[in-house]
Amino acid sequence: MVANHSKAQPAAPSKLPVRITLVEDLPEIRENWSRLINSFSDFVCIQTCVSAEEALRLIPANPPDVVLMDIFLPRMSGIECVKKLKAILPDLQIVMLTAVDDDELVFMALESGADGFLLKLTRPDDLRTSLLDVMKGGVPMTSQIARRVVGFFRQRSRLQDESVRLSAREEEVLIFLTKGYSNKEIAEHLSLSVDTVCTYLKAVYKKMHVRSRTEAVARYLNTPR
C-alpha cells in the first residue's frame, strides 16, 4: 500500500495530462495504483495490463508517455517485457516497480533498458516527482539504489580495456544527459534539432557499448578522465 504524505510539488510538464500505462498482475495493487495516478490532476492512467503479453499487445498500439512496469509478472517477466518494448519503442519511458529491493534485479532491469526503478512503497508525492523526472529525461530511483548502480558501473568500467573516444559534440551532449536534460532541452541548449541530438546519442551508446541513458550516464560519471 502506498503511504499518504504531502509536500510542495514540482512544476508539471507542458504536455498535460501525462499518460500512464500500468502493468501489474495483482488486482488490488493494480486498482490502488491506477486510482492513485488518476488522483493527480496532471496525470491519467490510460490503460492497465495484467501481463507482459498483454502489455506487448496493447502498448505499441496506444503508446503512453510513461509505463509503470511490475518486475514479477506471470510467465514473461517485466524485465523481459521492457527489453521487447524498447526494441519496438526505443524512446518509451519505462519505470520498474517492485516490492523487493534487490541489487541483481535493479541491474537487470536497468540493463534491459528501464529508465528508472521505484519500490511499491513509494509515497504518492515521490511517485509524482519521479514520473515528472523521467518525463524530463531523468532517471528516478532511490538514493540507495543510485549508489549501488554507481558502484556497479564503476567496477565494470575498470574492467573495460577499450577506451571510449567521443567527439567534442558527443561528449557535450552526454554532459547535458548526466544533468537530467531531455533530448528536446539538449537540442535547445546546443541549437540543434532533436533528431540530430538523437543521432549523437546513438553514436555515444554505440561507442560506450551501452543500451540506455542510465548506462551511459553511469559509465561517464565513473570513467577516469
188-198: average pLDDT: 86
What CA–CA distances, in Å, run from 109 to 81, 95, 114, 163, 185? 10, 9, 6, 26, 26
Q: Does domain 150-221 have CATH number 3.80.30.20?
A: no
Residue 5 scores a pLDDT above 50: no
Q: Which residues of the chain does CATH 3.40.50.2300 include?
A: 18-143
What is the share, in percent, of the chain residues with pLDDT greater than 90? 29
CA distance 152 to 101: 15
Q: Which residue has the cell 509478472?
A: 73
For residues 192-212, give the mean pLDDT. 87
User: How does the average pLDDT of the chain come out, rounded?
Assistant: 81
State the Cα–Cα distance between residues 116 and 131, nearest whole angstrom. Answer: 9
Q: How many residues does the chain have?
A: 225
Listed in order, the ranges of the chain carrying CATH 1.10.10.10 are 150-221
Q: Which residues contact 33 (CB under 8 A, 6 or more apart)?
A: 2, 22, 24, 45, 68, 97
On whether the pTM is more than 0.75, the answer is no
* Cα separation, 77 vs 58, whole angstroms: 16
For the chain, what is the total number of helices (H) and then of strands (E)? 10, 5
Q: Which is nearest to 122 in space by CA: 108, 138, 142? A: 142
At 148 the pLDDT is 67
Q: 18-143 architecture in CATH? A: 3-Layer(aba) Sandwich (3.40)
Residue scoring higher pLDDT (46 or 182): 46
Residue type, 27: P
pLDDT band at 192 (very low <50, low <70, confident <90, very high): confident
Q: Where are the beta strands (DSSP E) in the chain?
A: 18-23, 43-49, 66-70, 93-98, 116-119
Enter the DSSP assignment of 65. Answer: S
Most confident of 40-54, 103-117, 168-182: 40-54
